[in-house]
Amino acid sequence: MSIKTSFSIKDLENLSGIKAHTIRIWEKRYNLLTPIRTDTNIRTYNVDNLTKILNISLLNQNGIKISKIADLSENEINERVRQLILDRSSSDHALNAFKLSMLNFDQQLFNNTFNQLLAQQSFREIFLNIILKFLDDIGHLWTSKTITPSHEHFVSTLIKQKLLLNIERVQNAELNKTKTMVLFLPMNEIHDLGLLYIHFELLIKGYKSVYLGESVPVDNLIELQKVFPEIAFVSYFTVSPPVEDSEVYLADMVKHVLNDRGEEFHILGRNTRHLDKLRLPDNIKVHENIPEFLKHF
């Protein structure tokens, strides 16, 4: 894996949330960044420039005017950021640090940032308030071609490690619910971080949660019904089934799995947003996000 060391102004916009037009104005008016220009006069930026614009964005979002930031030296900017983190435990800084760790395949930076958060927050707070936002950002960075699959896979693996560690800690929690939760991803779906977190939460809540993982055929779910008398199924549609096939998939699920026993099927994810909830059977529940799903249980 090669470390990404050169960024376009569009990359800076995607990573910092500051519009490219604004970056150009700040660059010209305050000399905040020092881009390298190609032979065709296109701006490119190095990692130091990226780190600086992320820090500037953090300070600016926390009420410091850009004119004031421009008067600060590099060391003073870094010190203000450190102080802000200590005073407010800034989630914005953690997001920026996670982005840098992803871009540079820096496992140590990721773990150090996570552990700093863990010193002040619970795993649940970190995941719901920071990691979920980071995963949304990854989706945007992917579609805007700021990152490659190697970046996404690298950081997803690190997040999964944290999830599995915390799941192991709670998997022997006392069971006090009669319903068994069966968690699975449809065929060709591999984005499992959200579903793994739901598995963690359901275990804490006292459910027997059976996690089947990726690419589970619909007809395999019948085997679970032979074992457990009362089931609720949970799944995530991120890229599969495709939007145009999701209604057919749900009809197949109803026909072959749900109809005989009237069990519920709960779904989340990007590819559920187009579904008309009013047209779905009563036992298919579409949830906007994880917190909304968890309220149901």
Where are the chain's structural domains?
A: 1-88, 91-170, 173-296
Q: Answer whether residue 29 shows pLDDT above 70.
A: yes
Give residue 80's pLDDT: 83
| Domain range 173-296, CATH class | alpha beta
Please check the confidence at residue 86 and state whether its pLDDT lies above 70. Answer: no
> In this predicted structure, what is the pLDDT of residue 90?
58
Backbone angles phi, psi at 232, to 5 degrees: -125, 130
Rounded-to-integer distance, Cα 246 and Cα 10, Å = 34
Dist CA 297 CA 292 (whole Å): 9
Give the mean pLDDT of 58-69. 88
Alpha helices in the chain (DSSP H): 9-16, 20-30, 47-61, 66-70, 74-88, 91-103, 107-118, 123-126, 132-143, 149-170, 193-204, 221-225, 246-253, 290-296
pLDDT over 70 (residue 85): no
CA distance 144 to 147: 8
Among candidate residues 215, 222, 232, the one with its CA nearest the CA of residue 267: 232
Question: Cis (ω within 30 of 0) for the bond into 241?
Answer: yes
State the pLDDT confidence band at 87, using cuts at 50, 70 and 90: low
CATH fold of 91-170, please?
1.10.1240
Q: How far apart are CA 292 and CA 286, in angstroms?
A: 10
**Of 203 and 3, which is predicted with more confidence?**
203
pLDDT for 120? 87
Fold of 1-88: Multidrug-efflux Transporter Regulator; Chain: A; Domain 2 (1.10.1660)
Higher pLDDT, 272 or 2: 272
Q: What is the pLDDT of residues 203-238, one digit of tens each?
A: 999 999 999 999 999 999 999 999 999 999 999 999
Q: What is the DSSP letter of 16?
A: H
Interhelix angle 107-118/149-170, rounded to 10 degrees, is 40
DSSP annotation of 174 reads P
Residue with tokens 């490119």: 44
Q: How many CB atoms lie within 10 A of CB 34?
A: 11
> φ, ψ for residue 282 (rounded to 5)?
-60, -25
pLDDT at 250 (0 to 100): 94
C-alpha span between 60 and 69 (Å, rounded) = 8
Question: What is the chain's mean pLDDT, rounded?
Answer: 89
Helix, strand or coil, per DSSP, at residue 156: helix
Buried b (16+ CB within 10 A) or exposed e, 106-116: beeebeebbee
> Which pair of structure tokens corresponds to residue 81?
């950021």
pLDDT tens by residue, 112-122: 999 989 988 99
Element (H, E) at 182: strand 180-184
pLDDT in tens, 146-198: 888 899 999 999 999 999 999 999 988 888 888 999 999 999 999 999 999 99
